[in-house]
Protein backbone atom coordinates (compact mmCIF):
# COMPACT_ATOMS: atom_id res chain seq x y z
CA UNK A 1 0.00 0.00 0.00
CA UNK A 2 1.46 3.35 -1.05
CA UNK A 3 2.00 6.07 1.57
CA UNK A 4 -0.27 8.59 -0.15
CA UNK A 5 -3.13 6.09 -0.25
CA UNK A 6 -2.65 5.05 3.40
CA UNK A 7 -2.64 8.70 4.51
CA UNK A 8 -5.70 9.52 2.41
CA UNK A 9 -7.59 6.49 3.75
CA UNK A 10 -6.86 7.46 7.37
CA UNK A 11 -7.93 11.03 6.66
CA UNK A 12 -11.16 9.77 5.01
CA UNK A 13 -12.02 7.65 8.06
CA UNK A 14 -11.27 10.42 10.52
CA UNK A 15 -13.28 12.96 8.50
CA UNK A 16 -16.20 10.59 8.99
CA UNK A 17 -15.75 10.56 12.78
CA UNK A 18 -13.73 7.36 13.21
CA UNK A 19 -10.90 7.54 15.76
CA UNK A 20 -8.01 5.71 14.04
CA UNK A 21 -4.62 4.69 15.46
CA UNK A 22 -2.06 3.30 13.03
CA UNK A 23 -0.42 0.02 14.10
CA UNK A 24 2.06 -2.36 12.49
CA UNK A 25 4.60 -1.37 9.85
CA UNK A 26 2.94 1.89 8.91
CA UNK A 27 3.01 2.95 12.59
CA UNK A 28 6.76 2.38 12.60
CA UNK A 29 7.21 4.54 9.52
CA UNK A 30 4.78 7.17 10.83
CA UNK A 31 6.80 7.50 14.03
CA UNK A 32 9.98 7.88 11.95
CA UNK A 33 8.27 10.35 9.63
CA UNK A 34 9.37 8.47 6.52
CA UNK A 35 8.66 5.24 4.70
CA UNK A 36 11.42 2.69 5.29
CA UNK A 37 9.95 -0.36 3.53
CA UNK A 38 7.07 -1.55 1.35
CA UNK A 39 3.82 -2.29 3.21
CA UNK A 40 1.29 -4.87 2.04
CA UNK A 41 -1.46 -3.54 4.29
CA UNK A 42 -2.50 -0.83 6.71
CA UNK A 43 -3.00 -1.97 10.29
CA UNK A 44 -5.40 0.19 12.26
CA UNK A 45 -6.69 0.16 15.81
CA UNK A 46 -10.01 1.76 16.69
CA UNK A 47 -12.62 1.68 19.41
CA UNK A 48 -15.00 -1.20 18.73
CA UNK A 49 -18.02 1.13 18.64
CA UNK A 50 -16.74 2.43 15.26
CA UNK A 51 -16.56 -0.97 13.54
CA UNK A 52 -20.01 -0.83 11.88
CA UNK A 53 -19.32 2.67 10.51
CA UNK A 54 -15.85 1.59 9.33
CA UNK A 55 -17.32 -1.39 7.47
CA UNK A 56 -19.96 0.84 5.84
CA UNK A 57 -17.48 3.52 4.79
CA UNK A 58 -14.91 1.09 3.41
CA UNK A 59 -17.60 -0.85 1.55
CA UNK A 60 -18.25 2.33 -0.47
CA UNK A 61 -14.65 1.97 -1.65
CA UNK A 62 -15.06 -1.69 -2.55
CA UNK A 63 -13.59 -3.21 0.62
CA UNK A 64 -14.97 -6.58 1.68
CA UNK A 65 -13.95 -8.88 4.50
CA UNK A 66 -11.20 -11.29 3.50
CA UNK A 67 -11.80 -14.79 4.81
CA UNK A 68 -9.13 -15.83 7.32
CA UNK A 69 -9.05 -18.59 9.91
CA UNK A 70 -8.01 -16.16 12.67
CA UNK A 71 -10.67 -13.49 12.04
CA UNK A 72 -13.11 -12.54 14.77
CA UNK A 73 -15.35 -9.56 15.51
CA UNK A 74 -12.44 -7.46 16.82
CA UNK A 75 -9.70 -8.51 14.37
CA UNK A 76 -10.33 -8.95 10.67
CA UNK A 77 -9.02 -7.88 7.28
CA UNK A 78 -10.88 -5.86 4.67
CA UNK A 79 -9.55 -5.95 1.10
CA UNK A 80 -10.44 -4.20 -2.16
CA UNK A 81 -10.20 -5.37 -5.78
CA UNK A 82 -6.68 -3.87 -6.05
CA UNK A 83 -5.51 -6.20 -3.22
CA UNK A 84 -5.10 -3.32 -0.78
CA UNK A 85 -5.79 -4.56 2.73
CA UNK A 86 -6.81 -2.92 5.98
CA UNK A 87 -6.07 -5.08 9.03
CA UNK A 88 -8.61 -3.96 11.63
CA UNK A 89 -7.97 -4.28 15.39
CA UNK A 90 -10.83 -3.04 17.58
CA UNK A 91 -10.97 -2.64 21.34
CA UNK A 92 -13.07 -1.26 24.17
CA UNK A 93 -11.50 0.61 27.08
CA UNK A 94 -13.08 1.66 30.37
CA UNK A 95 -13.06 5.23 31.71
CA UNK A 96 -9.57 4.70 33.13
CA UNK A 97 -8.17 3.51 29.79
CA UNK A 98 -7.99 -0.15 30.75
CA UNK A 99 -8.85 -2.96 28.37
CA UNK A 100 -12.43 -4.26 28.59
CA UNK A 101 -12.85 -6.26 25.37
CA UNK A 102 -11.37 -6.89 21.95
CA UNK A 103 -7.71 -6.60 21.05
CA UNK A 104 -5.82 -5.97 24.28
CA UNK A 105 -4.85 -2.34 23.90
CA UNK A 106 -4.60 0.02 26.87
CA UNK A 107 -4.78 3.82 26.65
CA UNK A 108 -0.99 4.02 27.16
CA UNK A 109 -0.46 2.05 23.93
CA UNK A 110 -2.34 4.71 21.94
CA UNK A 111 -0.07 7.70 22.56
CA UNK A 112 2.18 7.77 19.48
CA UNK A 113 2.16 10.64 17.03
CA UNK A 114 3.66 10.49 13.57
CA UNK A 115 3.06 11.30 9.94
CA UNK A 116 2.47 9.41 6.72
CA UNK A 117 3.19 11.26 3.51
CA UNK A 118 3.31 14.51 5.49
CA UNK A 119 -0.10 13.94 7.10
CA UNK A 120 -0.24 13.73 10.91
CA UNK A 121 -1.57 10.44 12.31
CA UNK A 122 -2.14 8.90 15.71
CA UNK A 123 -0.40 5.60 16.27
CA UNK A 124 0.86 3.05 18.74
CA UNK A 125 3.76 4.36 20.84
CA UNK A 126 7.31 3.22 19.91
CA UNK A 127 7.87 1.25 23.13
CA UNK A 128 4.66 -0.68 22.67
CA UNK A 129 5.28 -1.32 18.99
CA UNK A 130 8.54 -3.01 19.97
CA UNK A 131 6.75 -5.09 22.62
CA UNK A 132 3.95 -6.00 20.19
CA UNK A 133 6.54 -7.33 17.69
CA UNK A 134 7.14 -10.47 19.75
CA UNK A 135 5.57 -13.77 20.70
CA UNK A 136 4.97 -15.04 17.18
CA UNK A 137 7.00 -16.28 14.18
CA UNK A 138 9.20 -13.28 13.38
CA UNK A 139 10.33 -12.39 9.86
CA UNK A 140 12.68 -9.92 8.21
CA UNK A 141 10.02 -7.17 8.18
CA UNK A 142 9.56 -7.58 11.94
CA UNK A 143 13.31 -7.34 12.45
CA UNK A 144 13.53 -4.26 10.22
CA UNK A 145 10.68 -2.52 12.05
CA UNK A 146 11.99 -3.28 15.53
CA UNK A 147 15.59 -2.44 14.63
CA UNK A 148 14.76 1.01 13.22
CA UNK A 149 12.47 1.81 16.17
CA UNK A 150 15.11 0.74 18.68
CA UNK A 151 17.84 2.72 16.94
CA UNK A 152 15.72 5.86 16.56
CA UNK A 153 14.16 5.88 20.04
CA UNK A 154 17.04 4.40 22.07
CA UNK A 155 15.16 1.21 22.96
CA UNK A 156 17.09 -2.01 23.63
CA UNK A 157 16.69 -4.59 20.86
CA UNK A 158 14.78 -7.58 22.34
CA UNK A 159 16.85 -10.76 22.68
CA UNK A 160 14.55 -12.73 20.35
CA UNK A 161 15.87 -10.61 17.44
CA UNK A 162 19.45 -11.76 17.96
CA UNK A 163 19.09 -14.44 15.30
CA UNK A 164 18.67 -11.74 12.64
CA UNK A 165 22.00 -10.06 13.45
CA UNK A 166 24.67 -11.21 11.04
pLDDT digits (tens, 9 = 90+) for 127-146: 999 999 888 889 999 999 99
Which of 100, 110, 140 lies closest to 27 in space, CA to CA?
110
Which of 74, 98, 99, 3 lies closest to 42 in space, CA to CA?
3
Antiparallel, parallel or unpaired: β 119-123 and 112-116: antiparallel
CATH code for the part of the protein at 3-125: 3.30.460.40
SS3 state at 52:
helix
* Contact present, 89 and 103 (Cβ < 8 Å): yes
Q: Please give the share of the chain, as a percent, with pLDDT higher than 90.
A: 92
Nearby residues of 151 by Cβ (< 8 Å), 6 or more positions away: none
* Residue 162: pLDDT band with limits 50, 70, 90: confident
* Residue 11: pLDDT band with limits 50, 70, 90: very high
Q: Looking at 48-158, which runs of residues are DSSP E strands? A: 64-66, 75-79, 85-93, 99-102, 112-116, 119-123
What pTM value is reported for the model?
Answer: 0.94
SS3 state at 132:
helix
pLDDT at 163: 85
Domain boundaries, the chain: 3-125
pLDDT at 44: 98
Amino acid sequence: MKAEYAAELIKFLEQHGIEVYVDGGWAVDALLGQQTRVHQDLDIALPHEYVPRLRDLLSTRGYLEKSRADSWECNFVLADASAREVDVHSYTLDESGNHVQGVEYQREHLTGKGSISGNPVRCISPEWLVRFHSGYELDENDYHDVRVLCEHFGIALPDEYGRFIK
